[in-house]
A and B are shown apart, each in its own frame.
Chain A
Amino acid sequence: MRKNTVADLAIFGGPRLFTTPKPVGQLDAPPVEDYLALLRIPYDARYLSNDGPLVRRLEDKLCEYHGVRHCLAVANAALGLTMLMQLFGQGKQGEVIMPAFSYRGLPHFAQWAGQMPKFCDVDPVTQGLDPAAVESCISEKTTSILVVCNFNSPGLIDELCAVGARHNIPVILDSVYGLGSSYKGKLLGGFAHAEVFSTHATKLLNGFEGGYITTNDDDLAAMLRWQRTFCLHGLRPPAADKWPHGLGLNAKLNELHAAMALACLERLGGVIERNKARYEGYKAAIAGIPGLSLMPYLEDKTEKRNYEMAVLDVDKSWPLTRDQILALLKAEGAAISPYYSPPLHKSPHSPAGMTPPDLPVSESLATRFVQLPVGEMVTLDDVAAVGAFLKFLHGHGAEISPRMRKAA
């Protein structure tokens, strides 16, 4: 509902702007008939997991899409990242260099892989790992470098891979937010030693839960395929000699999920178009509100971008703080969160007892952003409503702020 007075705000008891929660997640879905037609294949074959027919079809299609030699579907991206960090650990309890301005799961995955996270600062423009900072984080403990490709830019991939190569340290790309994005004219998928993507329902490609690893390294692909299915005796590939400490597990993607990812893969172009329309809608809706901007998609004139997120950048001059805007929008039914805040090294996701390093860029970035509702559950009218709401907040900030503080 449109707000006329401050009392209309949901945080002060007014009716919500959105009666159903508006998520930060793609949540695309094909017509159910398309899904059921695919599901019928493994059902009739009585083949619901263990490298089933749809998993193989999905892997082939993704190889083609990314222009990469190997794709390994996994049960989720967490397992994919953890497997790679474990292999590259080579039996050593070392460290994985990772950005502090990033996803909260990453330090946990490193620990499952027997490694400690080494939090590193990011570059203020791409907001991905800063190559110079990575260089200074490298020690004899470093076992891999985890480069995260953010939605706004894949980051400084060449420079970061060069640092890895110079020190003979493998580089993994977390490309969960980079699906559909390109780097130097090529879609992500074939960079570094391996890349990991997600097919979680809230990501660009909905496969219920799931993920996949892409690589051009034949040996690594053979090893990962073996690792994904418990490193079963009798299936050991010759390439396993390269990773004698490789630890097996169950990271198999099932056919129920592969069917969904296959159905949604056909729709990817459409989702990106609709994302772009929502993004442009937000841009238009907040144009003219002083001190607010949308985080830009870098190099979007020359490179492909997926427009998966709309992230609001709140200037310090605003009459309300970032956290106040967040609380106000949440109360209205926007199921949103700040963007990578707090930074990992200052969050509960940092391993207990670790002294947080000084990472000024990450710390500063972490105070600025609000993720706005996106995805297929959000209409262009919703986008306009968020814009109008933000305009209202800006106009009434002086009245809202003290009232919020009083309520707290």
Chain B
Amino acid sequence: MSSTPQLAVLGGTPAFASPLHVAQVNLPPWEKVEAAFRGIFERHYFANHGPLVQKLDEAFAETAGVEHAVCVTNGTVALMLLARALELSGEVIVPAFTFPAAVQALVWANLKPVFCDVERDTQMISAATVEPKITSRTSAVLGTHLWGRPSDPDGLAALCERRGLKLFFDACHAIACTHNGKRIGGFGGGEAFSFHATKVMNGAEGGCMTTNDARIADRLRTIRSFHASQTFAQVPVRFNGKMSEAQAAFALLSLDELDENIAANKTRYAAYKQGLAGLPGMAVIKYDDKEENNFQYVVLEVDEKEFGLTRDHVYQALSAENVLCRRHFYPGVHKISPFSEQKVSLPNTDFLCGRLLQVPTGQAVSTDDIARICERIRAIRAARAQLQDRNNLIR
């Protein structure tokens, strides 16, 4: 490596002329997109449970290793409809170390979210953190498979079984990820996925609900629309959660390329690992070698003491380099309106909220880019004394 570059935050030139994002945005070749859309226009079939949506329902069920997959507008709508389909009431225990949509979806489904802390090592809820939160009003537990790592499906299932609760999962990070070798999709009463452009499978927007329970599947398919021909169960409340043929076309093309996109993610992940190897206080969070992961996120954990700077310092300095990182999940959902009213203490969540940083990956990011990002991260540490004084950099 050459001499330490001058950091943009200290007046140097940004490492990148245009911004790099934390987003997969994996695009199929234009020729394939064009052909798919010509097909839609020829069929003149644009919405309402069209042939491509039906095909995607089937294809994604196979990907997720599950009996039933029901595609919808987006991942949030998937969670909203899934919560209704499970016939829940009262309180649902949920992590605050998650994307706000998971918690919001519960409220849209007329449920009360009750926050529960996560384990520091897994960053997810466990039977041990959930159990103290169970009351007579609790009807279910909603776990998040964070970064595609399984959210203790066995421990939570055993607890829910013992306490008579339902269990479901936010699997928006977990396409093609496994737990004990089994694809995520069939755990709990149901799971919700996202095909947002920033995810490994790209439907521009899109979501999917999966289950192995035929009765729940009938309810999911019914809740998705108001169509008499799509009524398979008695449900009190329905919605328009239909996915269009355009979304399905894109998602199907993306599904065709899932394996190669995951392989490319893995290469980029390894490049970060290599580029940051040995750097004190900067860990790349690990994925279990024995399980499949989609590597759609590269998550750094900044140890302030070792690194000499806070995560927010690093975030700010990288932003100046046009490396637009994310601080998921900052702040924790328990700290944002309207949920902050619960005033709950979640020390592990707060701890993690201050330490994690997601760095750019996806089709638009090359391994050369990553080498340069890592070089800048090293330069940030080298300049830590200068940067430490700049406490007022960010809110």
The interface of chain A, by Cβ under 8 A from chain B, is: 27, 29, 32, 35-36, 39-40, 43, 46-50, 75-79, 91, 104-105, 108-109, 111-112, 114, 200-202, 206, 208-209, 230-233, 236, 240, 244-250, 252, 254-257, 260, 349, 351-352, 377
Tally of A-B Cβ pairs under 8 angstroms = 149
A112-B108, A249-B76, A255-B204 known; A209 vs B101 contact (CB < 8 Å)? no
Q: Contact partner of B236 among A39, A236, A256, A351, CB < 8 A?
A: A351
B338 within 8 A of A: yes
B47→A112 contact, CB < 8 A: no
B338→A75 contact, CB < 8 A: no
SS of A interface (majority)? loop
In the complex, besides A108-B226, A230-B104, A248-B104, 14 extra interface pairs with C-beta distance below 8 angstroms are A32-B37, A76-B242, A79-B240, A104-B226, A201-B47, A202-B47, A209-B242, A230-B100, A230-B101, A231-B336, A244-B338, A247-B107, A249-B80, A257-B246
B89 within 8 A of A: no
B38 within 8 A of A: yes
Q: Which of B317-335 contact A (CB under 8 A)?
A: 330-331, 335
A49→B204 contact, CB < 8 A: yes
B75 within 8 A of A: yes
A29→B44 contact, CB < 8 A: yes
A75→B73 contact, CB < 8 A: yes
The digit string for B263-300, where 1 denotes a CB below 8 A from any CB of A, is 00000000000000000000000000000000000000
A208-B46, A233-B336, A377-B44 known; A257 vs B108 contact (CB < 8 Å)? no
A201-B47, A230-B104 known; A208 vs B237 contact (CB < 8 Å)? no
The digit string for B61-88, where 1 denotes a CB below 8 A from any CB of A, is 0000000000001111100100000000
B320 smallest CB distance to A (angstroms): 18
B237→A108 contact, CB < 8 A: yes
A35→B101 contact, CB < 8 A: no
Which residues of chain A have C-beta atoms less than 8 A from B25's C-beta? 46-48
B244 within 8 A of A: yes
A252→B205 contact, CB < 8 A: yes
A105→B240 contact, CB < 8 A: yes
A223 smallest CB distance to B (angstroms): 12
B250→A256 contact, CB < 8 A: yes
A280 smallest CB distance to B (angstroms): 24
Chosen A-B contacts, 13 in total, with CB atoms closer than 8 Å, are A29-B41, A32-B37, A48-B205, A109-B239, A114-B110, A201-B48, A209-B47, A230-B99, A233-B331, A247-B104, A249-B104, A254-B197, A256-B246
Which residues of chain B have C-beta atoms less than 8 A from A109's C-beta? 239
A250→B46 contact, CB < 8 A: no
Which residues of chain B have C-beta atoms less than 8 A from A108's C-beta? 226, 237-239
